[in-house]
Structure 1
Amino acid sequence: MIAFVLGFTGRAGASPAAITPLPPVEETDGRAGTCYAFYYDPPPIRPFIRMAYQAGSRWDRFDFIWPNLEPENDRWDEDVLRAYDDVINDLSARGIENVVGILLWTPDWAATSQLQGAEARSFDERPFGWYAPTVRNARLSQSTFAPSASSSPPQGLYLPWDHPDNHWGDFVYDVVSRYGDRVKYWEMWNEPEWTYFWTGTSTDYAQLLKVGYQASKAACPDCQVLFGGLHYWANPNFYRWVLGTLRNDPSAPANNYYFDVMSVHFYSSVSNTYDKINEIRDGMASLGIVDHPIWLTETGVPVWNDASVDPDPVKYDFAARQSEAAAYVIQSYANALASDVERYFFFRTHDADMGEYFGLIRNEHSLRPAYVAYQVATTYLISPTFVTRDLTGVHRQVTLWGTPRGKVSVLWNESPHTGVYTLPAAMPTARLVDRWGVTRTITPTTWLTGSHVSAAYTLTLPGATANLVSDPGHYFIGGDPLLLIESETNSAPPTSTVHPLPAMTTTLAFTVSWEGRDNESGILGYDVQWRDGAEGTWIDWYHITPHTAGWFVGKSRYTYDFRSRAIDRVGNREAWPHKPQARTTLDFTGTLYFSVTHFFADENR
């Protein structure tokens, strides 16, 4: 929320322990952001922008509040407009050039209902399984979950987007027109499943999204429109209802179903940043809506044991110790990468006047351990070629292959008991990094099986400590994570080729073989593709297979091209060759199919 002068609230406590940050993060892949980094303290200084940038954030996300911008129909507040200009320009000047603007809240003059505030819910009344940040009334020290007129659908919503009485369309068009040269990402409302934000139906929200998309694209064709960030827990089916409505709109397919990015929010429980995100992706696909990236536009966990801001701390469900919150940052970041999340926004940069303490930074500018953990994530978990995720008992491993640092394995323990984890070695040494960014070099244990030498790193993984008060056996954050980094001296990718084939093949089936070489870690596997003649589309045949030959069956009078690329054991991957590496023409008639079972019984095909 835009504020010209901020007065932070909160009780004074003991001075926090000093946290030393890592050096400023300069090399990033642009994936990471934070929310609400722009605050003054005091004007005209915005210290949290610099601190967010040094942590590795390259995005900010904040509200463009309709009642503040347009307090009366067609009367815009010039002071507020200029304040947003200043915020955007100050962010850009300090290196945060990417902004997600959240367009929300209905002004009284445009509201369709004047709802009276309902009685606020307390923590104890939060439904089981629900977790989201609470908006507290500081004077009353209680949560305020009540809907209001500002959460009602605006008048004229079902008119054409550019009709003068469609107030939402008019607002979106005017705001995007003014700021679209600097703000390229616009989120249509926030958490529309939750009546605190939206009291309309899912059909109403589908219309709000459609109108917002049309108005945004008219004002700025290259701007991107985000689905309002899902609260999820308030109604897990809401987004499906909205997408179902849009799917039935005959104009939707030609307009990308009226959104470019699915925006989601998950807090506290690390597993949700993988499991629930994939569930949402599957839900979209089940409705035929695919190829929309997913952004995690809010994630975080409140801390409960920070005596410097709360001298009488009391543990409560889904809140964490400061050390556990630091573990959450790395684990949720790794899970988000494994679930193919395109952007990650930590909520939030500093505590501000929230009723809970989410900040990487306290209001008086001191750092929490989560700040350093964020630096670790944005330093090492960048630009992977591909990502894998494995669960071995209670131990979790997310591996980023082919990063600028090498192969990065993120490891943690989901049980409360200390565990021992064995990781096969790709290189003769590795760097081990903890959540503080402290590194040390380790070597694997080796053993001989026949004539084969094996090597593995043996690691001790601390047990989880973040559990619920209401269910002490439920742990929602793993124990302290470790990063194991294996790097080659020269990270040049391996090379491979498909062996030549005869110009004419006269048998029903034939062998295609390939080979590769790597100068350091060795070959992990091969991707192999084929196509039907020079004009055909390349089709995947094998994916990271360790084998060097396959059995191919084609049909008569067809010409087949083949090509390969190799991946080494730290994830460096060869580029696909532009031209085929082997070609043959068949001179018999038959049916095109593949049979790898008869040749290798290879399941990786």
Structure 2
Amino acid sequence: MGLLAVVPQKSGAAPAVEPALAPVDYRFGVIESYENPAQANSLGAAWTRVRFQWAETQAGGPGTWSASVSDGQINGEIAAGRTVVGLLIGIPDWAREGHLPRGLHLPHTDPNNTWANFVREAVGRYNGRINHWIIWNEPDVNDPNAPGHTWDGSVQDFFQLQRTAYLAAKEVNPNAVIHLSAFTYFWNPNYIYEFLDVVVADPAAADNNYYFDALTAHLYFQPDSIYNIIQQFYGAVGSRGIPWKPVWLVETNAPPIDDPAWPVSNFTFRVSQQEQAAFIPQVFAVGLAAGAQRIAIYKMQDTADDVAANPEPFGLLRMDGSRRPAFTTYQVAVQYLAGMRGVKREHWGHWGQIRLDQGAHATTVLFSRLPAPQTVEVVAEADTAVLVDMWGSRQTISASDGVFTVELPGAICAQTAGDFCMIGGPVFYLVQSLDGASVPAPPPASGPPAVDDPPAATATVDPDAPTAMPETPSTAEPTAEPTETASPEPTFTPKATVTRRPTQTPTATASPTAVPTDTSPPPTATELSTAVPATEVAALPPTPDPAQEVIVEAAESGGNGSLVLLGVAGLLVLGVGGWWWNGRRQT
């Protein structure tokens, strides 16, 4: 039977589902949950990040420690069931030698290597509470005048920073999981390849797990390019002969410009609050399909510091603690995407269709990628299914002729990306029971695996990867030390005190022509829409996630004259928009 789902706009004032009092699924997190732990509990977030800025934490010298996030806050996050991930960054004046930490190129065991000492102190101090550590933030931002600029050294210097951190951390906590810094991709798409070339040139790299256990990504605004870039990261690792390693999408969001509590005139991309609400389930589904092992939204709540740091508001909560609509769609998404055992991107044209295998149940995420409504047929695996809109409203529908038919409403499409909307329309979850039982509300969640590496994981080679290999790094570090590769179960942690503008520049093609910003009601059927690949990523072949089977259909052209015109305009400003975004962000 055909079904038209009516989706009202939501203000976020009241949750559409019962508040979760514990993390729903280990994959989904929110940055800086410690800013409002009670609401983070209601959100159902399972992990967070805490930033340890060395210049603040040891401002008084190597014998001091004054973290901006207190032990009480960290302990509170852990008690709430959230894994805490630490971020190590910065250089205090007393430890600076030129642009680098003093003694960085000394062996990590040398007491004059100040960076090794800091890493050892941080990892040892929080051993057992924080077992995941991200080393630095966006070293590829190479413009000293950009607010997000954090690294003045060379690629070889950064390799030494990573190597030193890895060896020092494993020395005090062999179970620590050491992440690569998040790369912005847009400042220098080849940076990850240049870095990995230096890594594999080190003769001791293979014995030390190549000095990292996981990759980190910060990607914003466009689900379509987020999918492509995550796959490219997997391909980059495989192209250098490095065994498969998980990618974490640690920061993502699409901040709105039309919230009366924080109106934005100097925006990066035109996004309404309703579109931000649709983006949340879209990026979760697309990120999982691309192979992201964990996904976190930046960030929990707006703070006073954000006004100076960020043009747009990123919080799921406003500064006064009230909820944006995206808060509710996060709550619903993590419940209906919980317990994923496998995922396929079944269709990626006029609409997006992503199927999650959840054991006894299967959930298909649907969304239009165009302003026009779409009629979607989903193969029936049961006589009836539950259709859930992105606000949590449920209804039972029946199959006809072996399919469920859903009429999806068009997207607001305030911003285009090529022939498609940058962010799609309202999202629907079609939940089918595969064992004849009734569909629970919501499907049960699964616990985290002991190790992120799935059984069938194999590195996928990126055929477009640069082939030039730089020379061996100038600094030799003693080879052995912990050859520890095991990546134990994650420990979740909040982000650092000061909340800075996230990194990743959008791959979207910016089209300044607006459609309605937020007031436009997203009426009927709910579907999520992701942007068409931007020019930077259009040539990237989809790289199947080693852990998951991904089916990608050939993308359809928009078939909409007005969108074609908007898309052409968007493509012209794509490059400028990406660079501008990174130039405006804070670290």
Fold in common (TM above 0.5): yes
1:232/1:327 CA distance change after superposition, 3 Å = same
**Alpha carbons of structure 1 residues 279 and 83: separation in structure 2 relative to 1, 3 Å:** closer
Shift of 1:465: 2.3
Distance 1:539 1:104 in 2: 34
The residue aligned with 1:180 is 127
The aligned counterpart of 1:349 is 300
Confirm or deny that 1:294 pairs with 2:247. Answer: yes
Q: 1:24 aligns with which of 5, 15, 19?
A: 19
User: CA deviation digits over 1:287-345, x for unaligned, max 9?
Assistant: 111221111111111110101233xx448443411110111110100011111211111
Query: In the alignment, what sits opposite 1:91?
Result: 77
**How far apart are 1:364 and its partner, in Å?**
0.9
Closer/same/farther in 2, CA of residues 213 and 416 from structure 1, 3 Å limit: same
Tell me the residue number matched to 2:318.
362
Matched, 1:336 2:292: no
Higher helix content, 1 or 2: 2
Match of 1:241 in 2: 194
Q: Is the 1:409–1:483 Cα contact (8 Å) retained in structure 2?
A: yes
Partner residue, 1:416? 371
- Between 481-490 and 260-269, the greater mean CA deviation after superposition: 481-490
CA distance in 2, matches of 1:287, 1:477: 34
Aligned to 1:192: 139
More moved, 174-183 vs 389-398: 389-398
Equivalent residue number for residue 509 of structure 1: none
Q: Which residue of 2 aligns with 1:101?
A: 86
1:482 match: 428
The structure in which a higher percent of residues are strand is 1
What do you get for the CA RMSD once the two structures are aligned?
2.3
Contact 2:216 2:249 in 1 (8 A): yes
**Higher relative CO (CA 8 A, sep ≥ 6), structure 1 or 2?**
2
For residues 59-78 of structure 1, the aligned pairs below 5 Å read 59-77=47-65
Identity score, percent: 32
C-alpha distance in structure 2 between counterparts of 1:384 and 1:93, whole Å: 25
Deviation at 1:266, TM superposition (A): 0.5
Structure 1 residues 467 and 202, CA gap change in structure 2 (3 angstroms): farther
Distance 1:468 1:83, change over 3 A: closer
Deviates more, 1:98-107 or 1:319-328: 319-328
Describe the shift of the 1:183–1:284 C-alpha distance in structure 2 as closer, same or farther (beyond 3 A): same
Query: Is the contact made by 1:268 and 1:300 (CA closer than 8 Å) also made in structure 2?
Result: yes
Q: Distance in 1 between matches of 2:296 and 2:204?
A: 32
Q: CA deviation at 1:264?
A: 0.7
SS of equivalent residue, structure 1 residue 38: helix
Gaps of 5+ in 1: 1-15, 40-47, 114-151, 447-454, 493-537, 541-605
Distance in 2 between the 1:103 and 1:392 partners?
38
CA contact (8 A) 1:226 1:263 kept: yes
SS at match of 1:184: strand
The equivalent residue for 2:362 is: 407
- Counterpart among 254, 267, 272 of residue 207 in structure 2: 254
- The partner residue of 2:336 within 365, 371, 380 is 380
Q: Please give the residue correspondences for 1:26-175 in structure 2 after superposition, counting only pairs within 5 Å.
A: 26=22, 28-39=24-35, 48-77=36-65, 80-81=66-67, 84-96=70-82, 98-113=83-98, 152-175=99-122
TM-score with structure 1 length normalisation?
A: 0.66
User: Structure 1: which amino acid aligns with 2:75?
Assistant: N
What is the alpha-carbon distance in structure 1 between the residues aligned to residue 63 and residue 18 of structure 2? 47
- Alignment partners' CA distance in 2, 1:326 and 1:187: 28
Whether contact under 8 Å (1:385, 1:400) holds in the other structure is yes
- Cα deviation for residue 363 of structure 1 reads 1.4
One-letter amino acid matched to 1:88:
I
Residues 412-443 of structure 1, C-alpha deviations (whole Å, 9 max, x = no match):
11112111111121111111111101111111
- DSSP-derived class of the 2:100 partner: coil
Larger CA deviation: 62-71 vs 387-396:
387-396
> Retained in 1: the 8 A contact 2:256–2:276?
yes
| Alpha-carbon distance in 2 for matches of 1:154, 1:178 | 21
In structure 1, the partner of 2:390 is 435
SS in 1 for 2:358: strand
Shift of 1:370: 0.7
Matched, 1:265 2:218: yes
Shift of 1:410: 0.2
Aligned to 1:570: none
The correspondence of residues 501-516 of structure 1 with structure 2, limited to 5 A, is none
DSSP-derived class of the 1:383 partner: coil
SS of the equivalent of 2:346 reads: strand
